Structure 1
Amino acid sequence: MMRVSATVAPLFDAPDGGRRQRELVLHERFLVLEERGARVFGRAGRDGYVGWMPGAVLAPDPGAMTHVVAARQSYLCPEPVVKNSAAIVPVSFGSAFRVVALHDGDRWAEVARLEGARAFVPAAHLRPLDRPEADPVAVALRFLGTPYHWGGNSGFGIDCSGLVQAALLACGMECPGDSDLQRHLGCALPQGAAVRRGDLFFWPGHVALAVDAGQLLHANAHHMAVVQEPIADAVARIGVPWMRRL
């Protein structure tokens, strides 16, 4: 098993580049099954999604991580100082780290980089991996305003199925990466059923998450962002969805 060493690494459907299918973020696991020149074929550790990526963005797995970025975005600093003039490295929601120490009244987490360098992350941006989130909708709402990015899985750009997967995985729930597979999650609801927080809405090639009985949240190409909007507006624009309850 390898780990991603780049902030975001694209997963393609062909060794020559092809079409971007999904993305992995910093320190996510990737199992290499085949090498072909500068590209490798393998399986994402989070959900088994297969594809090709540049081998240069992978590094040997140093062992178990302890924490994950729970904020939409965070950053790595070379020193535990807020007013730091040195270059910082942006990192996304879902990036995993092994915390080795806390500094400055537990405000900064010292983390181990794959290349061995010391780095620091604001501790408030991290969540212990053994403490899953409780509410997928609350997780998804952190992505409000994130640019829509087809095949995206990060706090820098995300698509509809990436948003739903990020929210569910953070809560310890299994979730595939594509909406055509996500539509088998939970149980089907009849047309006209009362909407509850966390219900999933599906259209061909699209998925959204209910915030409450009148609002939904989704990453979409109409707004080119993650937005919350009235369910009635989305239905008028896209059509009548089918619904699932987790």
Structure 2
Amino acid sequence: MKQFCQTCLAGLMSVFVMFGFSISEEVQAEETGQTAYVDVSVATLWSEPNETRPVDAPSIGNPVDMWEWTTGMSYEQKLWLVGNLQTQALYGQEVTILEEQGDWVKVAVHGQPTPKNDLGYPAWMPKSQLANDASFSTLKDIKEFAQVTDPTAWLFEDKHRSDKFKEISFNTRLPVVAETKDAILVATPSDGKKWMSPDAVSIYSSQEDIEKPDGQNLVDTGLKFLGLPYLWAGTSGFGFDCSGFTHTIFKAHGITIPRDSSVQATHGTPVERDDLQKGDLLFFAYNEGEGRVHHVGMYMGNGKMIHSPNTASTVEIIDVFESDYYSSEYAGARRYID
């Protein structure tokens, strides 16, 4: 009923505007078009503003505690997230602010292609989780970046890496300010410069500088996350959903593919089952593979697939065509590498 009332309210607002009535600031969602940067290790983006529960508190503040949030939920509480979350964005990732409503903003996450918005994946997040530091923006444009290659990694206050500041996710990209033999100095969206272990990152001058992967490279990256619990809408080393898993693996190798499985299934190059190679994406659809695509995994060779299956599971490897469920819903494959 609450969602219905919000929908009705949105319709009434449109009518009011059409006939010249004013709308209070508390109700009107202001369009901004400004860009900003994610200021927490992982920002979780919601379908609607102000729809969170007490158990979600660790995910909506600044800072966040992703492990406290994901491990603190029961199965039923995690299942509730289905449909209530849309996606996630990583520390330092750029977004465009589409609307503001109180303490919440609707943003489009850059680098997450979707038919929903040309700017990026649209959804709501707390305004407090964004920063707009001009110096960080400048460094993003002119500096090489450190990309996290471990499932998660720590930022430190000191170059000796003894004073922890923030745990960040795989595939997070931050501008490099300086390098020593034992530490990398990076810029952050609002907290100045921090230190990282050189063993936890790769450094690139641009996304185009990332070496193009072969299928085994993609598989090896996926294997880093075996056993990681599933998280609806997840795109980080703290938890993935099925398409967040494949999207993030490819992005880490310099290849941007659509965010959602249903759209991933319409891009790339179609591949016949007999021609499958490592790194190909396998899709599964309702109605014995003829309906809407609802799942994606990555082919590993020898009939095996690695994927992040559902709320009750973790990232796992299966014999995909030996599974009655997955073989019956197989809907084809796509290749995103040469």
Given the two structures, how large is their TM-score scaled by the length of structure 2?
0.66
Aligned to 1:173: 255
Per the alignment, do residues 221 and 116 of structure 1 end up closer, same or farther by CA in structure 2, a change over 3 Å counting?
closer
* Structure 2 Cα separation of the partners of residues 185 and 10 of structure 1: 26
The aligned amino acid for 2:227 is G
Aligned to 1:202: 283
Work out whether residues 140 and 166 of structure 1, in 8 Å CA contact, stay in contact via their aligned partners in 2. Answer: no
Work out whether residues 218 and 228 of structure 1, in 8 Å CA contact, stay in contact via their aligned partners in 2. Answer: yes
Matched, 1:79 2:113: no
Unpaired segments ≥5 residues, structure 1: none
Aligned to 1:132: 210
* Structure 1 Cα separation of the partners of residues 228 and 238 of structure 2: 6
Aligned to 2:320: 231
* Structure 1 Cα separation of the partners of residues 311 and 92 of structure 2: 32
* Structure 2 Cα separation of the partners of residues 45 and 215 of structure 1: 32
> Per-residue deviation at 1:184?
0.8
* Structure 1 Cα separation of the partners of residues 177 and 256 of structure 2: 28
* Structure 1 Cα separation of the partners of residues 332 and 218 of structure 2: 16
Aligned to 1:38: 103
Alignment of 1:77-226 (within 5 A): 77-82=156-161, 84=162, 86-103=163-180, 105=181, 107-129=182-204, 130=206, 131-133=209-211, 134=213, 135-190=217-272, 192-204=273-285, 205-221=294-310, 224-226=313-315
- Give me the identity figure in percent: 26
Higher strand share: 1
Work out whether residues 195 and 213 of structure 1, in 8 Å CA contact, stay in contact via their aligned partners in 2. Answer: no
* Structure 1 Cα separation of the partners of residues 160 and 313 of structure 2: 35
Matched position secondary structure for 1:136: helix
Matched position secondary structure for 1:243: strand
The aligned amino acid for 1:95 is T
> Per-residue deviation at 1:199?
1.5
* Structure 2 Cα separation of the partners of residues 200 and 242 of structure 1: 11
Partner deviation per Cα, 1:71-117 (whole Å, 9 max, x = no partner): 211111111225x2x344211012121111123x2x21011122243
Q: Paired residue for 1:22, among 83, 87, 99?
A: 87
* Structure 1 Cα separation of the partners of residues 245 and 50 of structure 2: 27
Unpaired segments ≥5 residues, structure 2: 1-34, 53-83, 113-119, 286-293
CA RMSD in angstroms comes to 1.9
Q: Once superposed, which parts of structure 1, at least 4 consecutive aligned residues long, lie more than 6 Å away?
A: none
* Structure 2 Cα separation of the partners of residues 88 and 141 of structure 1: 27
Matched position secondary structure for 2:202: strand
> Per-residue deviation at 1:27?
0.7
Partner deviation per Cα, 1:20-75 (whole Å, 9 max, x = no partner): 11111111111112111011112101121111111100001522162221221111
Work out whether residues 185 and 244 of structure 1, in 8 Å CA contact, stay in contact via their aligned partners in 2. Answer: no
The aligned amino acid for 1:75 is W
> Per-residue deviation at 1:197?
0.6
* Structure 1 Cα separation of the partners of residues 87 and 312 of structure 2: 20
> Per-residue deviation at 1:222?
7.0
Matched position secondary structure for 1:180: helix
Partner deviation per Cα, 1:130-151 (whole Å, 9 max, x = no partner): 3325232222222222211111
Per the alignment, do residues 222 and 20 of structure 1 end up closer, same or farther by CA in structure 2, a change over 3 Å counting?
closer
The aligned amino acid for 1:74 is A
Matched, 1:10 2:44: yes
